[in-house]
Structure 1
Amino acid sequence: MSYSAEIIDYKGKEAVALTAGKYKAIVAPFLGSNVIRMQDVENDIEIFRYDESLSVEDLKKSPEVYGLPTLYLPNRLANGVLKVSDATYHFPLNDPLGNHIHGFLHKREHTLVSAAVDGKKAIAKTEYIYDKNDEFFETYPVSFKAEFTFTLSDDGLEYAFTMTNTSDKQMPYGMCNHTTINGPFTKDGNGLDMRLYIPVGEKWELSKSCIPTGDMLVQTNHDRQYLTGSQVPVLHDIDNDVFFAEEGSLDGKPFYGAVATDAATGKRICYEVCKDFKFWVVWNDHGDKGYFCPEPCTWIIDAPNQPIPAEESGYKELAPGESHTVTEKIYTA
Structure 2
Amino acid sequence: MTAHNKAFEQPYYDEPAVWLEWGPYQAAVLPRAGANLIAFRDTEMHYSVLREPAADEMDLFRSNSVVYGIPVLFPPNRYKDGTFTWNGRTYTFPINEERTGNHLHGFFLDSVWSVDSFGSNSQESFVSLSITIEEGHPIYAYLPHRFTIQLRYSLSMNGLLQHVIVKNNGEDAMPCMLAFHTTINAPFAQGSAPEDYHYTMTIDKRWELDERMLPTGKHQPLLPEEELMKTTGLSPFWEPMDNHYTSAANASGRHAMELTDTREGVTLVYDVGAAYKHWMIWNNKATPGFFCPEPQINLVNAPNVDLPQEQTALLTLEPGCIWEATSRFYFRSAK
**Tell me, what secondary structure is at the counterpart of 2:100?**
coil
1:33 corresponding residue in structure 2 = 35
Measure, in 1, the Cα distance between the counterparts of 2:254 and 2:198: 17
Q: Which residue does the alignment assign to 1:208?
A: 211
Tell me, in whole angstroms, the C-alpha distance in 1 between the residues paired with 2:268 and 2:285: 22
Kept in 2, the 8 Å contact 1:235–1:288? The answer is: no
Check whether the contact 1:159–1:327 (CA below 8 A) recurs between aligned residues.
yes
Task: Give the 3 Å change call, closer, same or farther, for CA 58–223 of structure 1 in structure 2.
Answer: same
Answer whether contact 1:178 1:295 (CA < 8 A) is retained. yes
Equivalence for 1:317: 316
Equivalent residue, structure 1, for 2:331: 332
In the alignment, which residue of structure 2 is the partner of 1:271?
A: 270
Match of 1:43 among 45, 52, 66: 45
The code of the aligned residue for 1:283 comes to: W
Structure 2 portions without partners, runs of 5+: none
Amino acid at match of 1:198: M
Query: Match of 1:90?
Result: 92
Give the residue type in structure 2 aligned to 1:42: E
Q: Is the 8 A contact 2:6 2:121 kept in 1?
A: no
Deviation at 1:322, TM superposition (A): 1.6
What is residue 168 of structure 1 aligned with on the other side?
A: 171
Residues 112-159 of structure 1: CA deviation (Å, up to 9, x unaligned): 111111322001000111123322322332221111111110110110
| Native 8 Å contact 1:199 1:258 kept in 2 | yes
Post-superposition Cα deviations, 1:35-59, rounded to whole Å, max 9, x if no partner, equal 1001012222110001222454432
Shift of 1:11: 3.4
Q: Does 1:118 align with 2:121?
A: yes
Provide the residue aligned with 1:146 in structure 2: 149
- Structure-1-length-normalised TM-score: 0.94
Structure 2 counterpart of 1:38, one-letter code:
F
Shift of 1:320: 2.0
1:129 equivalenced with 2:132 (yes/no)? yes
Distance 2:137 2:239 in 1: 39
Q: Which residue type is aligned with residue 124 of structure 2?
A: K
Residue correspondence of structure 1 range 176-215 to structure 2 within 5 A = 176-215=179-218
Query: Does structure 1 residue 15 correspond to structure 2 residue 17?
Result: yes
Asked whether the equivalents of residues 236 and 288 of structure 1 are also in contact (C-alpha less than 8 Å), the reply is no
Distance in structure 2 (CA, Å) of the matches to 1:40 and 1:307 = 45
1:214 Cα offset (Å): 0.8
Trace 1:49-88 onto structure 2 (pairs within 5 A).
49-54=51-56, 56-88=58-90
1:303 and 1:234 map into 2 onto residues whose CA distance is 28
8 Å contact kept, 2:166–2:323: yes
Amino acid at match of 2:268: I
- Give the partner amino acid of 1:132: E
- Structure 2 Cα separation of the partners of residues 243 and 94 of structure 1: 24
Q: Distance in 2 between matches of 1:157 and 1:208?
A: 37
CA contact (8 A) 2:168 2:320 kept: yes
Aligned partner of 1:300 in structure 2 is: 299
Amino acid paired to 1:6 = F
CA distance in 1 between partners of 2:136 and 2:225 (Å): 46
CA RMSD of aligned residues (A): 1.6
More off after superposition, 79-88 vs 7-16:
7-16
